[in-house]
Each structure stands twice: as C-alpha cells, then as structure tokens.
Structure 1
Amino acid sequence: MVPYDDVYAPEPDPDSVTGSAEWGEARERTVRWHDPLVGAGAGATMSGLDYLQSMLDGRLPPPPIAATMGFLLASVGPGEATFVGTPDESVYNPIGVVHGGFVCTLLDSALGCAVHTTLPAGVGYTSIEIKVNYLRPVTAGSGELTARGWVTKPGRRVAFADADVRAADGKVLATASGSCLIMSG
C-alpha cells in the first residue's frame, strides 16, 4: 500500500516542473499560533460574550484559523461579532481572485461568534448550515475586509444568524445566513 502523502501530495521535483522560470520567485507565508486548547478550556467556564471579549482583550489566544487565514476578531457585543482581514494573493484561486472559501470562512466566523455571544458558560455551538451569496469579486487589492455577523433568532437547540462582508469602501461583497446547533457540556 502506498502512503497517502506519496499519492496525493508528492514533493515536487524542481527539475521536472515546466515553466517554473516564468512563474517568478516563490513566495511563502509563515503561520504561528498558540495551543488552541488553552483558550477552549478557559472558554468552557465563561459565557460566550466574556470568552470572545477575553480574546479581543488579549487575555486568551485567538483560534489558529485566524492566523492561518489572516483575519482577527475586531469587536463583539450581545448578538454580534465583527472580524477584519486583508486577503493577500496566498488565498487566490486558479482564476486570480480571492477564493470564495476565504470569504465564507469570514462569514461563518462572524455569524458563529455572534451566536456564541448569546450563550452561557458551558454551552457551545457548531455551524450546521451556511448559505453564501457572493456579490462582487475580491482581490488582494480590495483592502481590509470587514465581516459582521448578527443573531436573527436565538434558540435553545438551534440559533440563526446573518452576516455580510464589506470592502474598505463599504461595498457589500458577500452575504450569508446560517444556523448553529447549540450544545451543552
């Protein structure tokens, strides 16, 4: 049996790659994060709003996805959360624009954390559905994006929220609606 990595993610042989001289210099990005279980453990003893505020204040580490994707929590309030991020070309898709997954991740983070702000200590959530409408293309030149999520209907088992992503000039780039399963313990 061939190991998974050998089949699906082979190390490229620089001598066998055609056209590499025309591709320009390779770029790289380093991602650093802290132990995610430190924050999660502390979060289990706090209300969702207090937990997210602790991240915002720097008392708890942000989740690794924020470093990986290059965005951060900007503000929280009861039933709402806002993230900001400036995409670069490392999140481009094959057609030369920011991948929809980057925008969707911002939207999911904003609406999920908006729901989280409504939850008491010891209660968590997970996304169970998200519907995204992409309205305009996003490029590395779009500047800082702002994703704001707000709860439209809290619930004991399922909560609903909406979100949008806006460019620096305020134009709406994408919208989303989603639902989160509420989980105790």
Structure 2
Amino acid sequence: MTTPDADPSSERSRTIHYQVPGKDKRAPFARSGLEQLQAVAAGEAPAPPISSHIGLEIVTVGEGDVVMTAVPDESHYNPIGSVHGGFFATVLDSVCGCAVHSTLPAGVGYTSLEIKVSFLRPVTADTGPVTAHGWVIRAGRSVAFADADIRDQEGRVLATASSTCLIIRPAACP
C-alpha cells in the first residue's frame, strides 16, 4: 500500500517459502526435543514455517541451550521506522521455547505460558543480523523456565526475555 506522499519506486515485496508441516501430528514426538532440533539445524528436517517469516535459523543446539540468528529488515518495521517489537518477541519466544524443547524426551511437548520481553535498543534494517541465545533456568516436571537475549554483531544486548513453558506429557500431546 502506498500513501500519496510515498515514492512508488521505494515499494518492495517479499516472497516466503516454507514447508507445510506434516499431517501426522504425532510424528515429531518420535524423537527427543534435542534430536528434533538437531535435525532441523542440520537441514535433515524442515524448519517451522514461522522461521521463513523472520529469517530465523538455528546456529547451535545443546541440551537446554539454543542459539539462533535472524535478519531484521524493512518489512519488520513499525510506523515509526524501527523494527517492530513483535519481531523480537517472536525470536525470543522461539529461542526460549527451543531451549526448553531441547531438554524434553521423546513423546513430550511444550507450549509457551508467558513471556516477558524487555526492549533495550532500537533496531533498523541497518542493524544487520542479530543473534538470539536462549537457556533453561529450571526444568520441572510440568513447567520450565528459560531466559534469552538478542545481540547485534558487536555483542550489544538489544532485548531480553524470561519465559515460562508448560510441559505437556504424553496423555495430553496431540
């Protein structure tokens, strides 16, 4: 959409390519969370579709510890010309959730219960790639807690998050 003042030559478009998740909702639960994430990182399993929207990629995955990268661009801008907080919230929710997921055995799932995000620095397309690091603080039988941050290429912290995830045992998994 262009406004009367907008320069039509500045209009851009973006195409998103992703794989539709399989119809068998139980298939991902055949592996542990760590095995699932390692398969995605190695390109042996498709990344979740949300990854395509924000250029999110797994860099490293260990038990309770995940690092991802994302590339903010102009398509993520809010009305004041900086990257929308939803970009950060999505990246931080993903890295926290995956850190929790990496601790789960086969047949067990999770879902986010809550996330608190603190925005510390503005980000624009000129910021370049950002790195998100998520780690588990405490993993219980029914709830897990994770923290995360996003940093720019110089290592400056741009945003932080604390997350609570519900652990879903086999009887409740899809």
| TM-score (ref. length: structure 2) | 0.92
The structure 1 segments of at least 4 consecutive aligned residues displaced by more than 3 Å after TM superposition are 20-25, 38-42
Kindly, what percent of the aligned residue pairs are identical?
53
The aligned counterpart of 1:182 is: 167
Instruction: State the aligned residue count.
Output: 170
1:79 aligns with 2:64: yes
Residue 144 to residue 53, structure 1, CA distance change in 2 (3 Å) = same
Q: Equivalent residues in 2 for 1:101-140 (5 A)?
A: 101-140=86-125
- Per-residue CA deviation, residues 25-77 of structure 1 (Å, 9 max, x unaligned), is 42100001012127965421000000000011111000000001221111100
8 Å contact from structure 1 (residues 81, 148) kept in 2: yes
Question: Bigger radius of gyration, 1 or 2?
Answer: 1
- Which residue is 1:159 aligned to? 144
C-alpha distance 21-169 of structure 1, shift in aligned 2 (>3 A): closer
| Equivalent residue number for residue 93 of structure 1 | 78
Question: What SS class does the counterpart of residue 141 from structure 1 fall into?
Answer: helix
Contact 2:54 2:71 in 1 (8 A): no
1:22 and 1:146 map into 2 onto residues whose CA distance is 33
Map 1:39-54; keep pairs closer than 5 Å. Answer: 41-54=26-39
The Cα RMSD (Å) is: 1.7
Give the SS at the match of 2:126.
helix
What stretches of structure 1 of length at least 5 have no aligned partner? 1-11
